[in-house]
A = this chain, B = another copy of it.
Amino acid sequence: MNRVAVIGLGLTKFGEMWDSSFTRLFVEAGAAAVEDAGMDGKDIGAIYIGNMSGGRFIDQEHISSLIADRAGLNPISSTRVEAACASGGLAVRQAIMAINSGMHDIVVAGGVEKMTDVLTEKTTQTLATASDTEWEAFLGMTFPGLYAMMARRHMYEYGTTREQLAMVSVKNHRNAMDNPYAQYHTEITVEQVINSPLVADPLRLLDCSPITDGAACVILASEKKAKDFVDNPVYITGSGQASSTISLHSREKITTVDATVNAAEEAYKRAKKDAKDIQVAEVHDAFTIGEIVAIEGLGFFEKGKGGIATEEGLTERGGKIPVNTSGGLKAKGHPVGATGVAQVVEIALQLRGEAGKRQVDADIGLTHNVGGSGGTAVVHILEK
């Protein structure tokens, strides 16, 4: 693939945004990205929007039309893509393809979810539609339950400890302290995680990412067109997407997410890079075990060593490879359709040197977005 430039970045505050609407969130992030790129809306050729479940959260399908309309962008093409919590990653990938196909020069990849306008019970049921409805959700399985099984098995096979899981959460909450867009600005301790209410053994409340409203947008452009707007864009040089079984019980192993391994392999190959080249990463820590499985699957650490690597501080700012400098899904928040795009925003900010107090030293970064318990994974590699 030809590399594609990232020329505009926009985020809303993540959190319980009761004073905003689904469309207002998206338009706010989009306007910020357009302003960041120093462009006009009329330069945009197409929009891709990651959204998991407008149909269930706000009784609205066809959100691509709604957003083009409210953003004043008619008549350009607007397309929703969905793979549960990986929807945002798909939007970025489709925008890359749209540019590389030669059919568009400048494309918005955005993501949005409004999750707090329904009762929590409905939110949990809706999130469960990302699992295998017939074989998992119908039987009462929830996402904490699925990830709890992955955690339990990882502890059994590799000796990962309850404390190591907690350290993922502690680190990400610490990082979020320096992210003004994050949902939580609360430092927590390992003891607080371990003593928080049990959700699905061994996972406790502070192992789980929250329910979040929010939106994120990036503006992508062909390398040639990017020069009209910015001097030193960041580039997406690799993209990978893979599928695995939607249900956990169909997998040979539940301690590795095959889709992550396969998506990373594709992305590394396209970017002509390797795991050891990556200097900063945003990974899918919907649950603390998710980050440990991710940093192994992406090749940053040997299989089974994700827990100990976390304990040794290798994923902290200043460590071997800083992971989730934004605060991650755990502390920045997880508006599911927006997450994959927000990850690209964070890595682009880091590579630009605009990450403020959470800035790390990096020229090459990676984003990793997962749908469901690993039925879909999307990986992108960004370079200065």
Q: Which residues does A use to contact B, with CB under 8 Å?
A: 1-2, 52-56, 58-62, 64-66, 68-69, 73-84, 90, 93-94, 96-103, 125-126, 129-133, 137, 239, 241-247, 250, 258-259, 262, 371-372, 375-376
Contact = CB atoms under 8 A, between A and B. Distances in A.
Contacts of A244: 65, 69, 74-75
A75 B243 contact: yes
This protein's copies in its complex: 2
18 contacts: A1-B103, A53-B61, A55-B126, A56-B61, A59-B125, A59-B129, A61-B130, A62-B129, A62-B130, A62-B131, A64-B83, A65-B84, A65-B245, A68-B243, A74-B258, A75-B242, A101-B101, A103-B239
Nearest to A97: B101
A258 B68 CA distance: 14
Contact of A97 (B54, B98, B259): B98
A78 B75 CA distance: 27
B376 A69 contact: no
Contacts of A58: 133
Contacts of A102: 1-2, 100
Contact of A243 (B61, B64, B83): B64
Contacts of A98: 97, 101
A82 B94 contact: no
A129 to B, nearest CB: 4
Given A80-B83, A242-B75, A243-B73, A101 B62 contact: no
Contacts of A100: 100-103
